[in-house]
Amino acid sequence: MQLSGSFLPLYRHLAPAFLPRSNASAPGTPKVGPGLWQRCRGRRLRVCAVSAAPAPTQLQVSQRTEVEFVFACPICQQTELKVQAQSRPQQLSCQRCARTFSGNKRYIDLTLTSGLQPGVYQQSFWGGVTIFQSPLVSFVYERGWRQGFAWAGFPGADEEFQMAMDCLRPAYGQPLLDMSCGSGLFSRRFVESGKFAGVIAADFSGNMLEQAGQFFDQQNLDKRQYTLLKADVGRLPFPTGSLAAVHAGAAIHCWPNPTAAVAEISRVLKPGGVFVASTFLNFTAPLGALVGDNVVRPLNRLEPSTTRAYKWWEEQELADLMAAVGLQKFRRVRRQRFILFSVVKPGQDRAVSPNNDHLRHAHWR
């Protein structure tokens, strides 16, 4: 693939972190001393197990009806905006804010600047956001980019999807928000599973949503069961306490303000609702898995953070952040620099099954 001059700096910056490395960097091959990765994998590869309670029966597509999604004005977050899955309205209006939000054949746009003509003010974004606005990145995301995460210990889309599904079990039969869905890698699997009463595939990048729409069409998925939404994770267009589940796969490290974003997720979750996410741990995580993250924590200062477009995490940072916004029962799966975790909104809503205490395996921490 020929890269224009404007993309060469971007490519050089991203290639070492995300694009596939040599075979020697694949999971299971040592990079830091003989046997280190093998020992790390043996101790930290977790399996998300569930109780023996029978899973809800999956409805046949022919028996399912069109889903009505309930959004909210992103400005006041008070006015409810109801949308049928297949309708793809060109406009949604909030009389309280005297604002009209736009849409197109692919997605509904409920960001703060939706429907406005470009003016003098232009919002600036950090690198972790702007990179994914690129049509090139949207195109390559499932054509090599995401597969390249294997170097960090990501298990592959199918296995990661199953881990997430096990954690999302309490929300079966309820609508699911797949936030920062990218090209719809997991959104499509959620729709295919038939376990949720509608899937909202949301992202801040219009180009990613266009690519997601193409993949949805190629798989001929039931349009009655999903919708595509342009949304800002820092200002979610949903009523408070309206969602039973939020998923964010390989996303939180790209969010410009993770604290505000996770606070928004906590706000929109119902009591007993579940948040499941995966992300990258920092470069000391494999060693920390052996000797303790607190022991290697001083080494994290050696990794520059001011010039990169992403935030690599320490496990305890994630646990502390979730607790700060009122999300409890932190559970995680961890391997090398990959982590998938789940947390629960306190309380209990009758529409949500009992919380993630069903993750009963001793390997879950």
Asked whether the predicted pLDDT for residue 31 surpasses 80, the reply is no
Asked whether the beta carbons of 274 and 243 are under 8 A apart, the reply is no
Provide the percentage of residues in the chain whose pLDDT is more than 70: 76
Q: Taking residues 38-42, report their average pLDDT.
A: 38
pLDDT score recorded for residue 48? 40
pLDDT score recorded for residue 34? 36
pLDDT score recorded for residue 38? 37
Asked whether the predicted pLDDT for residue 32 surpasses 50, the reply is no
Residue with the bigger pLDDT between 52 and 123: it is 123
Asked whether the predicted pLDDT for residue 50 surpasses 60, the reply is no
User: Is 52 exposed, middle or buried (CB count within 10 Å of its CB: 0-12, 13-18, 19+)?
Assistant: exposed
What are the pLDDT digits (tens) for 219-267? Answer: 999 999 999 999 999 999 999 999 999 999 999 999 999 999 999 999 9
pLDDT score recorded for residue 10? 40
Asked whether the predicted pLDDT for residue 284 surpasses 60, the reply is yes
Which one-letter amino acid corresponds to residue 308? R
The ranges assigned to domains in the chain are 26-53+126-358, 66-109
The mean pLDDT of the chain is: 82
Q: Taking residues 151-176, report their average pLDDT.
A: 97
What are the pLDDT digits (tens) for 285-316? Answer: 988 889 988 998 888 877 766 556 788 999 99
Instruction: Retrieve residue 304's tokens.
Output: 């520059």
pLDDT score recorded for residue 300? 82
Q: What is the DSSP string of 17-29?
A: HHS---GGGSTTS
Confidence of residue 351 (pLDDT cuts 50, 70, 90): low
What is the domain class of 26-53+126-358 according to CATH? alpha beta
Percent of the chain as helix, strand, coil, to the nearest 5: 35, 20, 45
pTM: 0.79
What are the pLDDT digits (tens) for 328-337? Answer: 999 999 999 9
Q: What is the DSSP string of 58-109?
A: PPPGGG----EEEEE-TTTS-SEEEEETTT--SEEEETTTTEEEEB-SS-EE
Asked whether the predicted pLDDT for residue 217 surpasses 60, the reply is yes
